[in-house]
Amino acid sequence: MTEKYTVIDFFGAPGGLSFGFEMAGFKSIGALDIFKAGMETYQFNFPDSKILIEDIKKVSVQDLKKEFGISKENIDIVIGGPPCQGFSTIGRVKIASLARNGTWKLNNHHPRFIDDPRNELYKEFIRMVKGLKPKIVVMENVPGMMSYRNGEIVREIIEDFNSIGYTAQARILNAVEYGVPQLRKRIFFIAVRKDLKIKILWPEPTHTYSNSNSMSSIGPLFKKKKLKPAVTVWEAIGDLPSPVPGKPKLADVALNYDKEPFSEYQKWARQGSKEVHNHITRQHNERDIKVFSLMKEGEKWKDLPEEIRKSYGYRDDIFNDKFKKLKRDEPSWTVVAHLYKDGYMYIHPVEARTITVREAARLQSFPDTFIFKGSRTDQFKQVGNAVPPLLAKAVALCVKKMLENIK
């Protein structure tokens, strides 16, 4: 048996990126994140990996090596998705203002992305990469970086990798093109240590979604390979049993499968699992249940009768997507972290309720063997923030080929 390539995951909770790499044959040896519940999930699903629940700014490279048992040159891959809060237009305007009034000193009058104080976590990620010197780095983030100021931020990040000895490229990938039942675009950066002199590889799409122009920016599709149709919401969750009614502080309970899987995706999701976890509904009042029942699949808040909208008191111009009912025969729209607050953007397509953590996890391509820890609110937050494992696996398989090409 060949030794597995090793991975360290920064901002790793709950483990979507790591799980994708493990499905591709890698081994996670350590993960760091400040989110306690998310790291409890990580530890449960990666029992052989060491975890560190800490603020990355307080951890030195030497301390990390000692904590994770890393010796010189034995780390293959560093992965992670550092939050980049200063990326927004508002953020850029703010730092320019601070520079003008002298509150924040710059070497020039053109503020760089990395210099925004709110991007400390990104800078810490770069610091760790510089200290650990992995062969390859995979970083993911929000896709808006690619379009902002004609790609200025992306160029700056590539320059930052270049300054610490790496050649880097960036691509926007859409999860739906890799078997995830969800339209979810993310930007990925792959950086390779310059001394290795290997070509950066990107995954070919395996699935297509005909109702969207959402194909990834990796160039023309490979005509020799026939693409599968996108996985739909019902192909993802239609076999799950009726969930347990929501109760305060109830975070998990094991349920038996009571239906046979009827899609390849469901068979994959259930492989190795004997029961369903994290499948508890939120509590809904009678008015919500009535409205959910009236809505047709795909309908939004703006489609509701005016008298119903007025009874809630929300502004139509702000809460256009306050209610949104999933369609069975389409992939889901993007599952976001805000899901933990109310979830009304993810109303079940058949039952008069919002989706459960397990259903959200299925839409993110977590198999049923992957169990989430913490409160139900924490679980929703973890699912919404995660990288879809099947998307991560597609990237990881390319990284594996790259490592095998090292002479």
User: What confidence score (pLDDT) does residue 379 get?
Assistant: 96
User: What confidence score (pLDDT) does residue 407 get?
Assistant: 66
User: What confidence score (pLDDT) does residue 102 get?
Assistant: 54
* Nearest one of 141, 142, 143, 132 to 166, comparing CA atoms: 132
Active-site residue, from 64, 84, 230, 363: 84
Go through the domains of the chain in sequence order and give each one's CATH number: 6-224+389-404 (3.40.50.150)
User: What confidence score (pLDDT) does residue 110 get?
Assistant: 54
What pLDDT, in 10s, does the model give residues 161-188? 999 999 999 999 999 999 999 999 999 9
User: What confidence score (pLDDT) does residue 145 get?
Assistant: 83
Strand positions, DSSP E, 70-229: 77-80, 136-141, 166-174, 185-193, 207-208, 228-229
Which residue numbers in the chain have pLDDT < 50? 1, 89-92, 95, 99, 104-109, 212-224
| Pairwise CA distance, residues 162 & 105, whole Å | 24
Unique residue bearing structure tokens 């919404």: 384
**Residue 389 near residue 365, CB atoms below 8 Å:** yes
Q: What is the pTM of this model?
A: 0.90
- The DSSP call for residue 86 is G
User: What confidence score (pLDDT) does residue 222 get?
Assistant: 42
Q: What angle do CA 96, 97, 101 make, to 5 degrees?
A: 120
What pLDDT, in 10s, does the model give residues 1-24? 457 899 999 999 999 999 999 999
**Residue 73 near residue 2, CB atoms below 8 Å:** no
Reduced to 3 states, what is the DSSP secondary structure of residue 372?
A: coil
84 a catalytic residue:
yes
